[in-house]
Structure 1
Amino acid sequence: MRLAAGLTQEELAHRAGFDRNYVGNLERGKNSPTVDTLERLARELDIQPGAFFAYSR
C-alpha cells in the first residue's frame, strides 16, 4: 500500500510521526501495530484502517 501510494518508508514514517525503522519493522511483521498506529498510517495512505486486513500481496 505504501508503494502504491508512491511513498518511501522514510516519507510515510515522517508524515505519520514514526521512525523509519519502525515502519520497516511493521512491514516485515517484526512489530505489531496498535489501533492508533493503524489509524495514523491509514490517514497518510488515504485508506480506511480496515484495508490493512483485506490487503494481500
Structure 2
Amino acid sequence: MDLRQLFATNLRRIRHQRGISQEELAHLAAIDRAHVSKVERGITYVGLEIIGKFSGALDVEPAEFFKPASKKTRPR
C-alpha cells in the first residue's frame, strides 16, 4: 500500500466533499498552492506539520487521510 497515494486520494476527496478549491485550502492551511497540488498528485512526501495543517483546515482527524477507500467509494 502506497501511503503517499492513499493520503493524496483522501485529501482530494475530502477537499472536494467540502467544496474547497486547492487555492482556498492552501490559504486556510497557510501552505503554498503549488505544494497542495504536488501533495494531491502524490509526488511529494508530507510531514506531520503539513498533515496537521490540512487536518485543521478541513476539520478532520489526521487519521481520515489514511483510511482505505471502502468498496462503496472505490471507482469502478
Q: State TM-score, norm by structure 1.
A: 0.92
SS at 2:42 equivalent: coil
Higher relative contact order (CA 8 A, sep 6+): 2
Tell me the residue number matched to 1:14.
27
Higher Cα radius of gyration = 2
* Greater helix share, structure number: 2
Q: Alignment identity in percent?
A: 37
Q: CA RMSD in A?
A: 1.1
Structure 1 runs, 4 residues or longer, greater than 2 Å off = none
Q: State TM-score, norm by structure 2.
A: 0.70
Unaligned runs of at least 5 residues, structure 2? 1-13
